[in-house]
Structure 1
Amino acid sequence: MRQRRIPHTAVELTELGFGTSALGNLYRATPAEDAAATVEAAWEAGIRYFDTAPHYGLGLSESRLGAALRHRPRAEYTVSSKVGRLLVPNEHPRGVDTEGFAVRDDLRREWDFSRDGVLRSIEATLERTGLDRLDVVYLHDPDDHWRQAADEAMPALADLRDQGVVGAVGAGMNQSAMLARFLRETAADVVMLAGRYTLLDQSALDDVLPAAEELGKSVVAVGVFNSGLLSRERPEEGMTYDYRLAPSALVARARAIAEVCAAHGTTLPAAAIAFPHSHPRIINVTLGMRSAEQATRNAELHGRPVPEDLWDDLRSQGLIRPDVPAEYGRRRSSRCP
């Protein structure tokens, strides 16, 4: 699988990445053996970029990922994690986490974008994963903490990068406007953009993608299925969009896009994965994976060729924005196994 380098760093990401929230029991329990098998299947498919966070299962995702990769040569894969939510003892546990993960709540999350919080968070992540270093560290959802994140956390990460402790630094969010600020106003090398450059939402063309283009920085695209609506060949009523019930108008639009995809000999999920690569600053698409079957399917979808004229048809029918870049394709010289 082709790898792309984050400019001005030595960090390379495979064009498809593995988002590990499900390893932390997102929404429901994932057995430990299934978690290990999912990482193994992703590896066999050629995926070498793995993204995790303390938030995912109160550290469970990090510990499971570290265990699954422990026997792999460290130079052969890239790991990112996040800071901003410190895990601290929970003085008043209720028995189960209240933020969407099927784990015990013996720990709780505490927002902290201070320099000390960053250092403590990274140290704890290294302990949980058993890794000797993190390749990329993102600020995690700093929406309500811009000042501390920009003035304290990002300089702390930049110092670690400059010392060679981490390879690249950035921020990850579900909005694009503040990510553009991180690119323009801080030392961020890369941002993780969730759900804002997809077949149904190209709002990142208004802010973060022009900033990345202007500054020669990189974007990792996540949430490309918009939490579900773009994940099936035939979208249906009752599916989710950005973690809520999808409005009927959006379901109809997704169906229209699916019909154009079928006319071009491809599928909606394959096109959803390919679409972010239409922009030159997006170097990776990372997908959540819960099972070995999902990992294999995602790699197969990523490997399917998507006709270049599909994007032209979607533009001409008003199904994607007219300013979606036309001159860039998937820019891939190799296919997944």
Structure 2
Amino acid sequence: MIDLPRWGLGAAALGNLFTVVPDETARATVDACWDAGVRYVDTAPHYGVGLSEERVGAALRDRPRSEFVLQTKVGRLLVAGPGTGRDTDGFDVPDTRVRQLDFSAAGVRRSVEESLERLGLDRIDVALVHDPDDHLDEARAGAFPELLRMREEGLLRGVGAGMNETAPLTAFVEEFDLDVVLVAGRYHLLDASAADGLFPAAQRAGTAVVLGGVFASGLLASPEPPPDATYRYAPAPPEFLDRARRTAAVAREHGTTLPALAVQAAGAHPAVASVLLGMRSPEEVRRNAELFVQDVPPAVWDALRREDLLPAGMVVPGEGDA
């Protein structure tokens, strides 16, 4: 199993996810991560149609290469776009480049080569097949075997997959010798469904699980969830908003915060190797770094269980080591 740091930077926001992040702020964010001890960075060609990779590479290029783990993804090649408008897939960037889905063996090798060019680095540590939801057979036949060959050739240290859905990830873990799986939005204080099948399969296979979306795309990110909070990138349903607010109230009663509970619960399961947090400013980096060391009294977890506010399958701090 590849050794991953406890937490890392999810660099989608540095590709101008939803809103523009100025170049200098993106650089300062990566620098703040380094100062906070973050040594694991996850990016992808999809994020800002290459912008995230370019910014991450520029910020890490002068850092000691042996001291950080760099992860990117395959499955989307970048080709010339019309250059007449803006990206239509959630990133505030011009459409001078567009994505071309390609989960073939040749596409995967080309994707890694082009990512290295954008990053300006000599190697990528981990490459993940990125959201092959509608291309599972192509990924099985092309992407995964090719990544495994590249690992054998010494071009990659680790290979795996990154998705939102747990069923295909579980199947991939059982079918291929994967080092890492990244699952987003399926293990947090409102939904621990990844613990049902994926986590046991990963533990049996010796595959490291990395979590994204532990703030449930915003609902768990504030000490008091606002009325316009989002869940799964949409307005939070009333029942989830109420549950998050009740959890936040229990946190306050015990002298801690909802975001601290979110990150510390996410990393407590023994299958979880690392937690990725999306950050777009140095202030967010410093705030999130504090969440991992914030004092969370054990009594808060007991209180949440009594109130039936923890999802089935959730392992809280102290339980994973038992």
Quick check: 1:72 aligned with 2:48? Answer: no
> Is the 1:219–1:284 contact (alpha carbons within 8 Å) kept by the matching residues of 2?
yes
Answer yes or no: is 1:253 the counterpart of 2:238: no
Q: Structure 1 stretches (4+) deviating beyond 6 angstroms?
A: none
| TM-score, normalised with respect to structure 1 | 0.92
1:276 to 2:236 alignment = no
| Residue 21 of structure 2 corresponds to residue 57 of structure 1 | no
Counterpart code for 1:64: R
What percentage of residue pairs aligned between the two structures are identical? 50
2:302 matched to 1:312? Answer: yes
1:203 has 2:193 as partner:
yes
| Distance in 2 separating the partners of 1:241 and 1:76 | 35
- Kindly report the root-mean-square deviation, in angstroms, between the aligned alpha carbons of the 2 structures: 1.5
Q: Deviation at 1:264?
A: 2.2
AA paired with 1:20? Answer: A
Q: 1:126 to 1:278 in 2, by over 3 A?
A: same
With normalisation by structure 2, the TM-score equals: 0.96
Residue in 2 aligned with 1:95? 85
Name the SS for the 1:13 alignment partner. coil
Measured after TM superposition, the shift of residue 323 of structure 1 is: 3.6
How many pairs does the alignment contain?
321
Unaligned runs of 5+ in 1: 1-6, 332-337
- Alignment partner of 1:71: what SS? coil
**Distance (whole Å) between structure 1 residues aligned to residue 255 and residue 221 of structure 2:** 17
Query: C-alpha separation between the residues in 2 aligned to 1:94 and 1:248?
Result: 40
Show the counterpart of 1:292: 282
* CA deviation map 1:68-115 (0-9, x unaligned): 01111100111000000110112x443211111111111110111000
Matches of 1:55 and 1:129, distance apart in 2: 14
Assess if the C-alpha contact under 8 Å between 1:95 and 1:104 holds in 2.
yes
Gaps of 5+ in 2: none
Deviations 1:123-168 (A, max 9, x none): 0000000111111111111111111112210111111112211011
Alignment match, 1:232? 222
Q: Which amino acid in the other structure matches residue 43 of structure 1?
A: W
Which one-letter code corresponds to 2:280 in the other structure?
R
In the aligned structure 2, how far is the partner of 1:192 from the partner of 1:36?
Answer: 25
Q: Kindly state the Cα deviation for residue 219 of structure 1 after the two structures are TM-superposed.
A: 0.5
* Structure 1 residue corresponding to 2:22, chosen from 25, 31, 42: 31
1:85 match = 76
Q: Which amino acid aligns with 1:99?
A: D
* Amino acid paired to 1:85: R
Q: Please tell me whether the aligned partners of residues 179 and 206 of structure 2 are also in contact (alpha carbons under 8 angstroms).
A: no
Match of 2:156 among 156, 163, 166: 166
Task: Report the CA distance between 1:312 and its aligned residue.
Answer: 2.9
Task: Please point out which of 6, 12, 16 is paired with 2:3.
Answer: 12
Tell me if the contact between 2:264 and 2:317 (Cα under 8 Å) persists in the aligned partners. no
Counterpart secondary structure, 1:193: strand
Instruction: Specify which of 15, 32, 40 is matched with residue 31 of structure 2.
Output: 40
**Contact persistence 2:26–2:281 (CA under 8 A):** yes
Deviation, structure 1 residue 322:
4.5
